[in-house]
Amino acid sequence: MAAPRTARQKEIRRHLWIYGALTPYVIIAVFPIYWMLITAFKQDRDLYRMDVFPLWFHLPPTWKNFTYLFYSTNYVDWVINTMTIAAWVAGITLLTAVPAGYALARLRIPGAENLGIAIFMTYLVPAIILFIPLSRVVAMLGLQDEWWSLVVVYPTFTIPFCTWLMMGFFKTVPMEMEEAARVDGCGYLGALLRIVLPVSVPGILTSVIFAFTLSMQDFLYGLAYVSIGDQKPVTVGVPTELIRGDVFFWGSLMAAALMVGLPVAILYNFFLDRFIQGITGGVGK
């Protein structure tokens, strides 16, 4: 029959249109990753050549860049440090931003609006200025050259945004729920813990992912506060130890990028739905 075929044809055509339109985006987004992949496995001699097709190998691929990374640098330490730092920072951010967001959203604090704005304004203070007085703080805490110093410093840029995120999110939790809980004798704390938080899991997960990702974007603080090889996070270790003098160790650089980038991307992807839900929650519905 003509009708079902046309419907299916239409569906296929629609799919083709969409895939076609999406292709440039996917290529743009993913091509650098592919490039990293190829470069990571190329021999140096294969790299500095202009006459050959650069997207495939001409000399056999090699594990050399990866072995250099693992045996001759502190790469493994860097990755572990980065992940640990990110986890701690996410935790600290949660412990500070979630309560603060709730307080600003629901507890009718006088001047809440201005306080919220003031917290967000901290983003206007540039890191290249902050890092100097903060180094004094880090030294006072005895954390110089340990990655713990970054755990202390990174929340300064994750807390403001996450507070806003949580603030917006908590506003969408119906007040009636909380009131009901308090009526039932929960008190403010109880209402928060037993009613509001469980409903806010998407928002909380969003904050976690966000804090996690943000803490991997820093370069300056890590550079200034951690100089010991095995204490560096990967974002500092890679540019500082794989670029020596005026020589770039491109193969190992790309290998390093791949191995830290892809797992994070996969993890992120996992939580993407929650992330969307979380941001959505931040909209006054």
Partner 1 sequence: MNEQLPLQTDHASVSRRRFLTVAGAGVAGSSLLTMLEARQAPAQIKGTTLRILQWSHFIPAYDAWYDKFAREWGDKNGVKVRVDHIPHLEIPARMAAEFAAGSGHDIIYNGSSILTRLYYKNLVDLSDVADAAGKKYGGWIPSARPLVEVEGRWFGLPLFYILLPMLYRKDLFDQNNLKAPDTWELARVAARTLKPKGHPSGIQLSQCADANLNWRSLFFSFGGQEADASGENVLIDSKELRETLRFAKALYDEGMTAEVFSWDDASDNRYLASGVGCWVHDAISAYRTTEDTNPEVFKNTVIALEPQGQGGKRVSVAAPNVWMVWKFSKNQQAAKEFLTHLIDNDIEGMVQSRGYNMPYLNSRYKKPMPIIGTDPKMQILQDFPKIVAFYGYPGPATTPIQEVVNTFVFPDIFTKVARGTNIEDAVKWGVGEYRRIYAKHKRA
Partner 2 sequence: MTASSHSGGPDAAGARAAAVSVVSRARPRGWFKSQSSRRLAFGYLLLAPAVLYVLLLVGAPFLFSLWLAVSDANVGEQVASFVGIENFRAALESEVFFIALRNSIVFTVVAAIFKGLLGTTLAFLLLQSFKGKKLIRGLVVIPFTLPITISVLSWKWMYDSQFSVINWFLSRIGLIGSYGSPEWPVWLGEPYLALAACIAVNVWRSFPFSAIVLLAGFTSVPNEILDAARVDGTSFFQRFRHVVVPMIAPILLIGFLFDTVFTLSDLSVVYLLTQGGPANATKILPVLAYQIGIQAGALGRGAAISLFLFPLLLPLMILLLRNLKRREY
What residues between 218 and 257 interact with partner 2 by CB under 8 A?
A: 219-220, 234-236, 238-239, 248, 250, 253-254, 256-257
Using rule CB under 8 A, residue 220 touches partner 1: yes
By CB under 8 A, name the one of 2, 124, 247, 266 that touches partner 1. Answer: 247
> Quick one: what does residue 225 bind among partner 1, partner 2, none, with the CB cut-off 5 to 8 Å set by partner type?
partner 1
* 62-121 residues near partner 1, rule: CB under 8 A: 72
Using rule CB under 8 A, residue 229 touches partner 1: yes
Spell out where the chain has E strands. 243-244, 247-248
> Quick one: what does residue 33 bind among partner 1, partner 2, none, with the CB cut-off 5 to 8 Å set by partner type?
partner 2
C-beta separation of 182 from 148 below 8 A: no
125: its two tokens: 């203070």
- The number of residues making up the chain comes to 285
By CB under 8 A, name the one of 76, 112, 186, 223 that touches partner 1. Answer: 223
The CA distances from residue 176 to 5, 183, 187, 192, in Å, are 52, 10, 14, 13
The single-letter code of the amino acid at 125 is V
C-beta separation of 61 from 254 below 8 A: no
Residue 243 DSSP SS3: strand
Binding segment toward partner 2, per CB under 8 A, in 2-10, 63-71, 104-112, 142-150 = 104-112
Q: How far is the CB of 148 from partner 1 (least distance, A)?
A: 15
By CB under 8 A, name the one of 5, 108, 244, 285 that touches partner 1. Answer: 244
By CB under 8 A, name the one of 167, 191, 204, 224 that touches partner 1. Answer: 224
Using rule CB under 8 A, residue 129 touches partner 1: no
> Quick one: what does residue 45 bind among partner 1, partner 2, none, with the CB cut-off 5 to 8 Å set by partner type?
partner 1
Q: How far is the CB of 113 from partner 2 (least distance, A)?
A: 5
C-beta separation of 229 from 216 below 8 A: no
Tokens 């939580």 found at: 271
Binding segment toward partner 1, per CB under 8 A, in 45-53, 59-67, 99-107, 181-189 = 45-53
Burial class, 42, CB count within 10 angstroms (exposed 0-12 / middle 13-18 / buried 19+): buried
Determine the Cα angle at 174 with ends 172 and 175, to 5°: 115
Using rule CB under 8 A, residue 170 touches partner 2: no
Neighbours of 119 (CB within 10 A): 19
> Quick one: what does residue 32 bind among partner 1, partner 2, none, with the CB cut-off 5 to 8 Å set by partner type?
partner 2
Q: How far is the CB of 280 from partner 2 (least distance, A)?
A: 4
The single-letter code of the amino acid at 164 is W
Using rule CB under 8 A, residue 61 touches partner 1: no
Helix, strand, coil percent values for the chain (each to nearest 5): 75, 0, 20
Question: Residue 144 phi/psi, 5° resolution?
Answer: -60, 135
Using CB under 8 A, list all residues that contact partner 1: 44-45, 47-50, 72, 131-133, 135-136, 138-139, 144-145, 220, 223-225, 227-229, 239-241, 243-248
